[in-house]
Structure 1
């Protein structure tokens, strides 16, 4: 199963907005809750708080469903909502990158298609270890781009950094990952 696209998520937003479909809300929750939880956890560093904040995003989506037709980039919209909730919770405008090393071990969840099924569990362990070894800021940016399919510009807006910083951090991530993983990353 591949990551949902903006087009798929726009269709869910439309179904929520036009039909008020609870089933659409649950599909959206199933697709994005794990990602929003991991993202909010990286900001607030408290599991229970991150769970609550990620859930609150979906409550807000439901309450504001009539406005969803105006959203052109739904994936970025979801992450911006989560970021805003986390930052309001923390009551500070900046993110402390130094604290990311203290996070519980979060693993990269690779979605498997026929080609990916060839990767052994040992290779998945190597990949996850390599991602965990990335510098904290680099690791967050890498996950937002690669695991959540956000564009560099969207990540830059989300984290209040320049697009060039995102590009540089992705370059660092690819260089470090390619040195520690014995195959090419796409």
Structure 2
């Protein structure tokens, strides 16, 4: 029974990807109030929250054919709203006075329900980007971050210099930085990614 909403959302998503406006309207009406409340809790501004939800749904509609889900549609939408709001903050679209309040909100751990979802979405995005790396870079990065080998061990294992290992890891992290684009996430990559 609990799987029905998940299944229904995925069925709607398939129709939306095919350009079905009615399916999009159903999804929009189902999640707009919840996403608005989520955005409002972060922004404390009704107009900014409405704009964030509207812009997120607009982006979602335009990109629906390219979006794939491993989890739930609702988790994806919550993550998209959060990402959009954080981008607004970065680009100073929200009054500066709210930044400290939002940072405190995030630090205080008010995302208890979403922490696992956020982490899993992050790991998926990182894994996807790692898969796009050139084979040698991917191999070196995985030996370093997944298998916890030192630069020296990787160099010996692959018959290359330590400086080559260091350079490949730096390039890999730069490539991930473009995708992740968030310093706290980059810290996660550097410290505990894919344990």
Cα deviation, 1:88-107, whole Å, max 9, x if unaligned, reads: 00118994235x9xxxxxxx
- Normalising by structure 2, report the TM-score: 0.49
State the alpha-carbon separation in 1 of the partners of residues 33 and 4 from structure 2. Answer: 13
Query: Higher relative CO (CA 8 A, sep ≥ 6), structure 1 or 2?
Result: 1
Structure 1 segments of 4+ aligned residues over 6 angstroms from their partners: 158-162
Instruction: Evaluate the alpha carbon distance shift between residue 4 and residue 80 of structure 1 in structure 2; reply closer, same or farther with a 3 A threshold.
Output: farther
SS at match of 1:96: helix
SS at match of 2:83: helix
Match status 1:91 vs 2:90: yes
Instruction: Evaluate the alpha carbon distance shift between residue 66 and residue 158 of structure 1 in structure 2; reply closer, same or farther with a 3 A threshold.
Output: closer
Q: What pairs up with 1:150-169 in 2 under 5 angstroms? A: 153-154=116-117
Name the Cα RMSD after superposition.
Answer: 3.3
- Normalising by structure 1, report the TM-score: 0.51
State the alpha-carbon separation in 2 of the partners of residues 3 and 38 from structure 1. Answer: 24
Q: Which runs of 5+ in 2 are unaligned?
A: 92-98, 123-183, 189-195
| Aligned-residue offset at 1:76 | 1.3
Q: What pairs up with 1:21-170 in 2 under 5 angstroms? A: 21-68=20-67, 70-73=68-71, 74-91=73-90, 95-98=102-105, 137=108, 140-141=110-111, 145=113, 153-154=116-117
User: Whose Rg is larger?
Assistant: 2
| Residue 8 of structure 1: aligned partner | 8
- The answer to which structure has the higher helix fraction is 2
Instruction: Evaluate the alpha carbon distance shift between residue 87 and residue 78 of structure 1 in structure 2; reply closer, same or farther with a 3 A threshold.
Output: same
State the alpha-carbon separation in 2 of the partners of residues 40 and 27 from structure 1. Answer: 20
Q: Which runs of 5+ in 1 are unaligned?
A: 101-135, 163-186
State the alpha-carbon separation in 2 of the partners of residues 4 and 97 from structure 1. Answer: 36
State the alpha-carbon separation in 1 of the partners of residues 45 and 23 from structure 2. Answer: 29
